[in-house]
A = this chain, B = another copy of it.
Amino acid sequence: MRIALDAMGGDFAPEATIKGAILATQKLNEDDIILLIGQEDVIKSQLAENGYTGSQIQVVHASQVIEMGEHPTKALTQKTDSSIAIGYGLLKAQKADAFCSAGNTGAMLVGAMFSVKAVEGVLRPSIASLVPKLSGGIGIMLDVGANAECKPEVLEQFGEIGSIYAHYVLEIENPKVGLMNLGEEEGKGTVVTQAAYQRLKANTSINFIGNIEGRDLFNDKADVIVCDGYTGNIILKLSESLYDILESKNIKDPFFDKFNYEAVGGSPILGINGNAVIGHGVSTPRAICNMVLHAQHMATSRISERFKKNYSE
């Protein structure tokens, strides 16, 4: 697999991304390649400084960088030689099997829509987040921020897309789909969640188990947690803050360690014609390494092709 990595993305780039790429080479398969995109001279000198002499990292030059605060659409239109633009170019041309970046989230999302585009039949691509489960498993929650509000049919499709991801990437047989709501009973919630409930219930391609509540996030009621991006984003950031709170109190626990964004491996963009992962802005080398491994796992699972097969064929 060829994993493109934005060397310039993230608050600690390029130092953290380059170190993260080197870490990843120790865990990837021998024939996997990392395409490290960014300012060639800087990357090459830092690879040398870090003593990297292998051949699994190939440098792809990009003369421009989209900064964290830039307007996504404007930046992508103007900076056609930016690392994000080049990364998506490689993905579109199938010169990369996956692309990941800890840079500007909006630019990563808009870049996907500009280049590889949404899979035909997918109403709204989404950003998903992996959810650690108390039992030791992993679930997936979507959307966590790409679509602040969602129509019922979009929420229904999140149930399908999440199920496909859970099946092929998380390797969960017949994943359980739950709709995040304020009560378990049918008929609870907003007009949109009520309508989404009926659509999910009638959808025979998924294993819908009904509404779930905030307290069910970490238990095994649902493998796929469906919600709009406003709600998912609040849940995600609240959960992330727990790790920081516990760490500040010197409380260590293997379960809560999984809330550490460094361990999570970034958030996949689902429903586009390619495998893309967005990393946390403050990504450390460990976080970058896990993001690359996540991207490789998505590519190996051929998840983007599964979406195409499901919706376009």
Choose the segment among A46-54, A185-193, A289-297 that binds chain B (4+ C-beta atoms closer than 8 Å). Answer: A185-193
* Cβ-neighbour of A182 out of B214, B234, B244 (below 8 A): B234
* Cβ-neighbour of A238 out of B181, B191, B214 (below 8 A): B214
Contact bitstring A207-245, B, C-beta under 8 A = 1, else 0:
000000111111000000000011101111111111011
Decide if A305 is an interface residue (CB 8 Å cutoff). no
Cα-based distance from A34 to B188 in the complex (angstroms) = 35
* Cβ-neighbour of A217 out of B216, B236, B238 (below 8 A): B238
**Chain B residues closer than 8 Å to A244, beta-carbon distance:** 215
Highest count of chain B CB atoms <10 Å: which of A213, A216, A230, A237: A230
Name A's B-contacting residues (CB within 8 A). 134, 145, 148-149, 180-183, 188-191, 193, 213-218, 229-231, 233-242, 244-245, 248-249, 251, 253, 255
Q: Please, could you name 7 A-B residue pairs with CB atoms under 8 Å apart, sorted by A? A: A149-B191, A182-B230, A213-B234, A216-B241, A217-B238, A231-B231, A235-B235
List the 5 closest pairs (A to B, CB-CB), nearest first.
A214-B237, A214-B238, A182-B233, A215-B241, A214-B234
